[in-house]
Structure 1
């Protein structure tokens, strides 16, 4: 891309007018952080600092080395998966200019760019900061991206919208001295209903929306979950955490992990091993001590100051009465609502479309093959998010994108715009929607071709036709 075209992206939808990327000034402290990173890169290039010494600093800023020498993977943090069309256009621009023209949506709702020159990373950080995005703490022994159900706020079964709480926790912990050099990575997830789309039991901290009999809302908190070679299901630390105790409770868990975690054996360093070593009752006792010692047991501890996420219906589009709504609680449930053979559109509608709790609106999932999306497709999605929704979208932990607040009356028109660009595959979020990390394609830690296996498995599960009991 020519330098003077940066910030202007040609629309891939019906309009052909350039779409300007809106930017805001970078806060001085963020600019200083980026300049510090660039300074360290110059020191590495001048052999003043070894690559080994630079590595922890690089990882803390969300930059991974690849198995291919001389190039990096840049991981862009997307708290709770919330993106704007404007931000997605910027990611597309960066992928075109500095990477391979492909973005990779991850199981933590991040977006990764691969094959990036280390000398370009500072520029990428600046361009991300202009649209409110960062790579900071997307890697390393920190609190990783805080994830949440992609239907939060529109889910028919949710207790309440967990979005503002996930956002508040994510930004509270970002650059927080409490979690800059922990024994190992730390993962937090929020879910709003019992279906638990965010998979809270496999997280270091899992928070499930709850409501007491007196109507007070809060969270059921579980701790110590994880997968890997030693999977563990998280255990209940508190059946109910009131909102004014949410941040203090999380901080005390992180502090306890930071103090007791194994810093000698990386393979035994996650919080699940701390709990295993102490026993859960002793862990709870130690947590209570940490909570008190950090001063969080004070009765005057104030209410949580929520960071709101504006996600209202599209302007100038009124919802239509709910007719022929997709059935069930979402993906793949119920009939297709169509007499006769199932058309590609009706298969997509059956498997990818979820009725919102707001009458007349639906959420439409865009299935990405193993999380990969081209820059042209990113621009299409950005345009459609503004044309058919409210300019917002979300990434999912199954490596897809989802458009919410789509008026049901415009659903078929949306499908017709997605299909020509390879964005209307059925089966999103179902068993056939196989997820895969980059594996040996790019990852220096990879030991197998996970994408190759995923492609082979996809042949066994034909799109949109997997029995619903699988």
Structure 2
């Protein structure tokens, strides 16, 4: 463990609701039965996965996946995650490409304590794994993006919590992924999801979503197809439920490798799939159009912070630079970081700063530091990104230099966030039982090739993603340079190799 100092900020907790407490106690009882031999490991495995707990390639320890809808965390929640990471894991957390946070090397006996600790601050591991609707992701710039049609945050949150513990979502043929994007840049990558929702606006001013279905990566990558060009808000949840019902009914439950929804569409043809979806929609009691408004769950992430921007703050602002915009040697470390990691918000006077986490890893001390900075410089909220980073939003531009200094003090001010030098890698053989290669090891080697913050301008949009196997947890298929681990027979032995993908 890293033995991080205890945070001086107390963690605010709420009583755990009786139903969630019963759920945790059920897991605890089943875990004891498995340890005592009353339940076999094979029977316990699907139950464990339903609760967001994975086995590792190392015997006797688990990976705990914390589900974070749309990547939204409060500083208070991040402090609790840090506390649990320090107490029960290795002192290092891992941000995933689905905006979750994973804890590794956790003993099974400690999992219920982690679940209780998370529940006290409104977090859960439930359905972060298994044949369920996984974490609902969204663009980390939602609400502040200059080009967005509207803020998709509340819709992502509403859908995520509507499906959590929903009977419809407990035993699907295979995992199911949903993503929300607010503009045409599509930072949430909707085409590679089972359901992708892109913000749209009709000529009459009505807002809704362009809905695509059937995307996915893995061993048989597919791009989602348009199911509805415009989905009105009052039809959003029933439209999603109808897709899940068709998948639940027609998905392949015998062959796991052919079980994703993309194979249902491949077998039926998209026109027939759409017809089945329409039938499911009507059978649920909905006949378009329905006039029942969507009941949105508020997410108070974006009130104007108590710290207001001022005109006489630091002389260092986002607009200023002392060197070449291409990273000339005259550029100071602060200027380089500001150029690559700071984003102007659509709200005048505010910026957002991306904290680059190498391969998504951060220590408990760094978690506590980011939580403190979110309180000090913003409104106490953080978001994880699908590129394994964290972002603090709503920072008064006049305070950006001070934030940089505070980040740098904990090794959190590396430039090049979300750019070519920000390599994406899954855990690979470090912990994953399915991994064939050490994706993190390769990422470390490649990181030495790219000078942080000084990559030429014409390469800034190049992406490098490394998966330890064909499952594409690092999304290697959609990278400019993608690699995934494979086994290749050499004589009597099988050796690890990488398969190279270009132009994704």
- Superposition TM-score, scaled by structure 2 size: 0.87
2:335 corresponding residue in structure 1 = 346
Deviation, 1:340, is 8.4
8 Å CA contact 2:307–2:377 kept in 1: the answer is no
The residue number in structure 2 matching 1:154 is: 144
Q: Deviations over 1:212-235 (max 9, x none)?
A: 000000000011111112111111
User: Which residue number corresponds to residue 15 of structure 1?
Assistant: none
Tell me the secondary structure at the aligned position of residue 209 of structure 1.
strand
Q: Which runs of 5+ in 2 are unaligned?
A: 460-504
Q: Is the 8 A contact 1:325 1:355 kept in 2?
A: no
Counterparts of 1:301 and 1:254 in 2: how far apart (Å)? 22
Asked if the contact 2:327–2:455 (Cα under 8 Å) also holds between the matched residues in 1, the reply is no
How far 1:341 sits from its partner (Å)? 1.2
In 2, Cα distance between the equivalents of 1:264 and 1:321? 64
Distance across 2 between alignment mates of 1:290 and 1:467: 51
Paired residue for 1:77, among 64, 67, 75? 67
Aligned equivalent of 1:445, options 409, 426, 434? 434
1:216 aligns with 2:206: yes
Alignment of 1:56-455 (within 5 A): 56-297=46-287, 299-300=289-290, 302-313=292-303, 315-320=305-310, 326=318, 336=325, 341-455=330-444
| Alpha-carbon shift at residue 301 of structure 1 (Å) | 5.1
Deviation for aligned residue 1:337: 11
Q: Is the 8 A contact 2:317 2:401 kept in 1?
A: no
CA change 1:146–1:335 in 2 (3 A) is: farther
- Check the 8 A contact 2:95/2:102 in 1, yes or no: yes
Aligned partners of 1:127, 1:362: CA distance in 2, in Å? 32
Distance 1:366 1:293 in 2: 47
Deviation for aligned residue 1:300: 4.8
8 Å CA contact 1:335–1:350 kept in 2: the answer is no
Deviations, residues 3-61 of structure 1 (Å, cap 9, x unaligned): xxxxx9734xxxxxx21000001011000000110010111122110010000010000
- 2:451 corresponds in structure 1 to 462
Higher relative contact order structure (alpha carbons within 8 Å, sequence separation ≥ 6): 1
User: For 2:12 and 2:381, how far apart are their aligned partners in 1?
Assistant: 14
Please state how far the C-alpha of 1:313 moved relative to its aligned partner. Answer: 4.5
Aligned length: 454
1:19 aligned counterpart, secondary structure: coil
* 3-state DSSP of counterpart to 1:10: coil
Gapped runs of 5+ residues in structure 1? Answer: 2-7, 12-17, 328-333
Conserved in 1, the CA contact under 8 Å of 2:326 and 2:454?
Answer: no
Q: CA deviation at 1:321?
A: 5.8
| SS across alignment from 1:20 | coil
The 2-side partners of 1:288 and 1:128 are apart by 39
Please state how far the C-alpha of 1:420 moved relative to its aligned partner.
Answer: 1.7
Distance in 2, Cα, partners of 1:406 & 1:190: 24
Contact 1:393/1:402 (8 A) holds in 2:
yes
**SS across alignment from 1:196:** coil
**TM-score where L is the length of structure 1:** 0.93
Equivalent position of 1:10 in the other structure: 6
Q: Distance in 1 between matches of 2:115 and 2:327?
A: 48
RMSD: 2.1
* 1:467, distance to aligned residue in structure 2 (A): 2.3
Tell whether the 8 Å contact from 1:336 to 1:346 is kept in structure 2 after alignment.
no
- Displacement after TM superposition at 1:450 (Å): 0.7
Please name the residue that 2:18 is paired with. Answer: 28
Task: Answer yes or no: is the 8 Å Cα contact 2:326–2:455 preserved in 1.
Answer: no
Name the stretch that deviates more: 259-268 or 401-410: 259-268
User: Which moves more between the two structures, 289-298 or 385-394?
Assistant: 289-298
CA distance 1:405–1:391, shift in 2 (3 Å): same
- 1:163-206 per-residue CA deviation (whole Å, 9 max, x = no partner) reads 00000000000000101111110000000000010000111100
